C-alpha cells in the first residue's frame, strides 16, 4: 500500500485542518471483501469521473495533478481497501499530498464533492460513541474477545505474552491444551468470530478464579488505552459472577445473556447493535435533559450565530444535529460568523453546508456530535448545542 494512504479510525483535527485545497471527498457504498465487487468498482469509477470533472471546472490543471494521481492510485487498489461489512462504505478523502481512508460499517449515499474542506457529515455515525465496541464472550473455562462495528465481527487475537503469562495458571487442562486462555482449539468455530463451549463440570470456585484472570487479561492488556465499550456475552449466572469482580472500566451494564458459542454471527451482531443503541438512547436523553436545564441560564442554545461563537470559544460539550439536516451556509472558524445561503434548486447539496462545518469544529474540540430525529432536536434551526460551562 502507498505510504501516502492512511487508514483512519478516529477523528484527528490536525489531519483535516492542515491540508491545502483542492480537497476531494468521495463516499462509496460497498459490499465487503468477500462479495462480488464489480458493482462497487463501477460506482467508484463514476464518482471518480464526477470528481475529476468538478476539479477541471473549478481549478487549473496544475493545481490538482497530485489529487488526480492519488485518485487513480486508489482506483487501482480499491479491492485492498474494502472493509469486512457486507453493507458498508468507504470514505475517501484526497488532497494533493495525502489520501485518508475510513472503512465504514454502515452504508452511505454515493457522493463526490470538491471543496476547500473535507466533507465529514457522512462520517458522524462512525465517530459517535459505540460505533466500535468489544464483545467479551465468557463461560466457566473459556473466553473469546471480539471487535465489532455496525456491520461485522472479528476475533481479537490474544497477544502471545498474555497467553504465556496466563497459561501457567492452568497447565495441561481441557483436551490437552496448555491453558484455559489458549483458545487455539477453536479455530474452526463459527466465523468470523471464535467462541467456546461451556463445561458444566467446572466448579463455581474454579470458574471465579478463571474470571479473575480473564478480567486481568482484558483490563490490563486488551482494552488498555481505548474507551471502547465492552459488552459481556455469557449466561445470566456468569454475568452476575463476573460483574461482581470486574474492573473493566467501560463494561456496559446491559449484556447479552446467552452462551456466545450458541449464537450465530448475524444474531450476535444484531444483539450487540441493540445494546449499543439502548446505551446511546439513554445517553442522548441524559444530554437533552442537561440541555433543558442549561438553556435558561445561557448554557445551551439553538441559535446558529450563538453556536458559531461558542464553537470558536471551544466551549461546546455536545452538538445535536437533525438527521439529514441541510443548511446551505458558511462558518468562519476564526470569528464564529455564520452566513446563510439560498437553498439550491430541489435542495440538492452543492456545498458549503453549515451543519458539516459545525460538526467538524465540534469534533476538533472533542465535543460529542449526535444526530437525532428532527423532532428531538431542541429549537427550530435543526442544530442545538450544550455548553461545557
Domain span(s) for CATH 3.30.960.10 in the chain: 5-126
In this structure, what C-alpha cell is assigned to residue 247?
474492573
Beta bridge partners of 88: 30
Task: Output the CA torsion sign for 18, 19, 23, 24.
Answer: negative
Q: Is the pLDDT of residue 383 over 90?
A: yes
Are the C-beta atoms of residues 115 and 152 closer than 8 Å to each other?
no
In this structure, what C-alpha cell is assigned to residue 229?
465499550
Backbone angles phi, psi at 25, to 5 degrees: -120, 115
Q: Tell me the per-residue pLDDT of 303-321, one tens digit each, with 9 for 90 and over.
A: 999 999 999 999 999 999 9
Q: Tell me the per-residue pLDDT of 28-42, one tens digit each, with 9 for 90 and over.
A: 999 887 667 889 999
Q: Is residue 6 classed exposed, middle or buried when 0-12, 13-18 and 19+ CB atoms within 10 A define those classes?
A: middle
Domain span(s) for CATH 3.30.1330.30 in the chain: 297-387
Are the C-beta atoms of residues 181 and 213 closer than 8 Å to each other?
yes
Question: Strand 368-372 and strand 316-322: pairing?
Answer: parallel
Grid coordinates 449515499 are at which residue? 109
pLDDT for residue 172: 37
CATH number assigned to the domain covering 297-387: 3.30.1330.30
pLDDT for residue 242: 95
According to CATH, the topology of domain 5-126 is 3.30.960
Integer Cα distance of 207 and 46 in angstroms: 57
Q: Tell me the per-residue pLDDT of 130-184, one tens digit each, with 9 for 90 and over.
A: 999 999 998 877 788 899 998 889 888 877 766 655 554 444 333 444 444 433 3
Greater confidence, 62 or 14? 62
Integer Cα distance of 386 and 310 in angstroms: 10
315-345 core/surface letters (b: 16 or more CB in 10 A; e: else)? bbbbbbbbeebbbbbbbebeebebeeeeeee
Residue 169 CA to its chain's centroid (Å): 36
Q: How many residues does the chain have?
A: 389
Are the C-beta atoms of residues 233 and 260 closer than 8 Å to each other?
yes
216-247 core/surface letters (b: 16 or more CB in 10 A; e: else)? bbbbeebbeeeeebbbbbbbeebbebbeeebe
Q: Tell me the per-residue pLDDT of 331-366, one tens digit each, with 9 for 90 and over.
A: 998 999 999 887 665 555 555 789 999 999 999 999
The whole-chain average pLDDT of the chain stands at: 85
Enter the pTM of the model: 0.79
CB atoms within 10 A of CB 80: 10
Amino acid at each position: 500500500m502507498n505510504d501516502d494512504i492512511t487508514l483512519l479510525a478516529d477523528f484527528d483535527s490536525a489531519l483535516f485542518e492542515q491540508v491545502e485545497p483542492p480537497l476531494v471527498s468521495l463516499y462509496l457504498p460497498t459490499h465487503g471483501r468477500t462479495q462480488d465487487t464489480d458493482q462497487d468498482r463501477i460506482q467508484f469509477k463514476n464518482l471518480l469521473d464526477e470528481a475529476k470533472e468538478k476539479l477541471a471546472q473549478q481549478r487549473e490543471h496544475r493545481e490538482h495533478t497530485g489529487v488526480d494521481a492519488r485518485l487513480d492510485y486508489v482506483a487501482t487498489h480499491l479491492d485492498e481497501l474494502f472493509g469486512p461489512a457486507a453493507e458498508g462504505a468507504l470514505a475517501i478523502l484526497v488532497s494533493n499530498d495525502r489520501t485518508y481512508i475510513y472503512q465504514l460499517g454502515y452504508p452511505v449515499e454515493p457522493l463526490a464533492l470538491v471543496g476547500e474542506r473535507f466533507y465529514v457529515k457522512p462520517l458522524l455515525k462512525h465517530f459517535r460513541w459505540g460505533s466500535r465496541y468489544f464483545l467479551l464472550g465468557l463461560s466457566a473455562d473459556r473466553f473469546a474477545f471480539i471487535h465489532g462495528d455496525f456491520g461485522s465481527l472479528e476475533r481479537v487475537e490474544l497477544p502471545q505474552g498474555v497467553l504465556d503469562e496466563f497459561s501457567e495458571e492452568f497447565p495441561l487442562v481441557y483436551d490437552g491444551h496448555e491453558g484455559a486462555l489458549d483458545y487455539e482449539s477453536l479455530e474452526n468455530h463459527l466465523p468470523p468470530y471464535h467462541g467456546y463451549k461451556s463445561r458444566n463440570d467446572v466448579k463455581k470456585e474454579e470458574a471465579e478464579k478463571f474470571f479473575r484472570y480473564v478480567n486481568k487479561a482484558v483490563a490490563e492488556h486488551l482494552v488498555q488505552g481505548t474507551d471502547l465499550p465492552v459488552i459481556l456475552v455469557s449466561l445470566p449466572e456468569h454475568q452476575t459472577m463476573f460483574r461482581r469482580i470486574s474492573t473493566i472500566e467501560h463494561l456496559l451494564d446491559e449484556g447479552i445473556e446467552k452462551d456466545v458459542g450458541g449464537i450465530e454471527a448475524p444474531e450476535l451482531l444484531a444483539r450487540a447493535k441493540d445494546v449499543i443503541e439502548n446505551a446511546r438512547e439513554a445517553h442522548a436523553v441524559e444530554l437533552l435533559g442537561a440541555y433543558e436545564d442549561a438553556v435558561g441560564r445561557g448554557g445551551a442554545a439553538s441559535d446558529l450565530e450563538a453556536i458559531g461563537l461558542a464553537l470558536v470559544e471551544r466551549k461546546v460539550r455536545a452538538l445535536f444535529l437533525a438527521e439529514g439536516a441541510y443548511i446551505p451556509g458558511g462558518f468562519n472558524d476564526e470569528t464564529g460568523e455564520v452566513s446563510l445561503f439560498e437553498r439550491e434548486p430541489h435542495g440538492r447539496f452543492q456545498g458549503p453546508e453549515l451543519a458539516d462545518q459545525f460538526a467538524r469544529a465540534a469534533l476538533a474540540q472533542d465535543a460529542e456530535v449526535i444526530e437525532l430525529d428532527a423532532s428531538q432536536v431542541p429549537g427550530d434551526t435543526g442544530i442545538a448545542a450544550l455548553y461545557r460551562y
